[in-house]
Structure 1
Amino acid sequence: MKIDKLCQVVFQMHPLPGKLRDKQVQEALRAHVREIIAESHYRERQLLLSTGQPAEHAYFIAEGFARGFYYDEQTGRDITVFLWNEEAIALAANSFFLRQPSDIHMEVMPGSTLLSLSHGQVSTLFELFPATEALARALSLQYNAFHKKRMKDLLTRSAWERYQDLLRTHPRVEQHVSQEVIASYLGITPWSLSRLKKQYK
């Protein structure tokens, strides 16, 4: 079941509080989440969040793909900063946890199924299961580590190396998003990506 996938991902997060290693606590948490979580199916691309809005939901990608991006008004282009594949937890972390306006758009791709919890539901979850607050910190640390690695990769690795790394971490990315989206994530133009693929073919 999709909820089991989500719980498996959550209970594998590090550092996992000792209380959340208890099987009875895990089952109680699983049962509570099963009662409140929402499931949504998307046949078309759809915005989940726009910049300037507070992030009201955290999403689990049960099937499909989603992305987070900025819009560059000077160039008129999207700049993709996040690509979330199956079994990823997708959210605008600072906006969701700190109740700030989001600085990114979030978009889900066609054929995706998402599980979601609202900010209010997550807050109640923290009250009922205090140990789960540590999961929010762990998730925030993961996002910070991702940002640091992404910045380092953009500065120290070639575009081809970044592309190969993307294919390793997101094997089905080219089935879900356009070459324009992939190029923007890599920090290059679509023409440069096409040239690289021909060069290394």
Structure 2
Amino acid sequence: MTADELYKLLFTIRNLPAALSDEGERARLTAYLNKIVGHSYHQRDQLLLSEGQEAMYIYFLEKGFARGYYHDIQHDREHTVMLWDQYSFITDPPAFFEKEPSKLNIEVMAGSHLLFISRQQLDELYQTFPYAEVFTFRITSFYSAHFATRSHDLVSLSAWERYQQLLKHYPKIELKVTKKIIASYIDVAPQSLSRLIKANRCR
């Protein structure tokens, strides 16, 4: 199996190192990656990472959907804080890059196909291709921007506005995850989401 979509995304990142403007160097890098990138297919919903675990892998979602959530033990409630659609990088950045125990649960949905690489393999990649560290910088920058935007939206937008934003960013999400997950992402109870949808359809 190839990882063409992964490479297409990597090589369209802005401000790439000059070395990657050379087709020969790109071919050398992709040949190296082809040898180390793993593939997995998930027939059912499955946890890739649990709270307290060390994050040993970073994933690329070639097909499917995934989410990241915290479990509020006191109230026995899940708080979905991250959603990943096709062609996304999946990890818990502090747990993977800083080697901290994960505070996040990462769940991949049934029918998903993932590419993955271990932290050790990534370190060896950077030893061979030092300029490739730009990919880590771009991934961590994306996560920082995402959580800043999400924090802003949770305090600045109404629940209905958050729901509309969700539908805009993740078309047909209702076919990919349950309403309970959607409700937890926009920070409302499932019953409240049902009432919101019903009330706004009547307008």
SS of residue in 2 equivalent to 1:166: helix
Q: CA 1:199 to 1:15, structure 2 compared with 1: closer, same or farther past 3 Å?
A: farther
Q: What pairs with 1:18-97 in structure 2 (closer than 5 Å)?
A: 18-97=18-97
Q: Give the Cα–Cα distance (whole angstroms) in 2 for the partners of residues 159 and 96 of structure 1.
A: 32
Maintained 8 Å contact 2:2/2:34: no
Match of 1:124 in 2: 124
3-state SS of the aligned residue for 2:3? Answer: helix
Secondary structure of 2:62's match? Answer: strand
Give CA-to-partner distance per residue, 1:29-71, whole Å, 9 cap, x none.
1111111111111111111011111100001111101111100
Q: Tell me which amino acid in the other structure corresponds to 1:104.
A: L
8 Å CA contact 1:15, 1:138 repeated in 2: no
Structure 2: how far apart are the matches of 1:134 and 1:25?
15
**Partner in structure 2 of residue 109 of structure 1:** 109
Alignment TM-score, normalising by the size of structure 1: 0.96
Give the deviation of 1:22 after TM superposition.
Answer: 2.5
Identity among equivalent pairs (%): 40
Q: 1:25 Cα deviation (Å)?
A: 1.8
> For residues 78 and 15 of structure 1, do their structure 2 counterparts lie closer, same or farther at Cα, with a shift above 3 Å needed?
farther
Residue 12 of structure 1: how far off its partner (Å): 2.0
Structure 2 unaligned spans of 5+: none
Aligned-partner Cα distance in 1 for 2:22–2:160? 44
How far apart, in 2, do the equivalents of 1:106 and 1:154 lie?
21
Residue 180 of structure 1 deviates from its aligned partner by 0.5
Judging changes above 3 Å, is the alpha-carbon distance between structure 1 residues 155 and 68 closer, same or farther for their aligned structure 2 residues? Answer: same
Q: Matches of 2:152 and 2:28 in 1, distance apart?
A: 41
Query: What letter corresponds to residue 3 of structure 1 in structure 2?
Result: A
SS at 1:30 equivalent: helix
The letter of the residue matching 1:121 is Q
Report the counterpart of residue 184 of structure 1 in structure 2. Answer: 184
Corresponding position: 1:142 with 2:177: no
Q: C-alpha deviations, 1:65-116, integer Å up to 9, x for none?
A: 1111100001111110111010001111111111111110111100111110
Asked if 1:200 corresponds to 2:200, the answer is: yes
Q: Cα–Cα, structure 1 residues 43 and 30, in superposed 2: closer, same or farther, change >3 Å?
A: same
Higher mean C-alpha deviation, range 119-128 or range 14-23: 14-23
Residue segments in structure 1 that go unaligned for 5+ positions in a row:
none
> Secondary structure, in 3 states, of the residue corresponding to 1:82?
strand
RMSD: 1.2
Shift of 1:2: 5.2
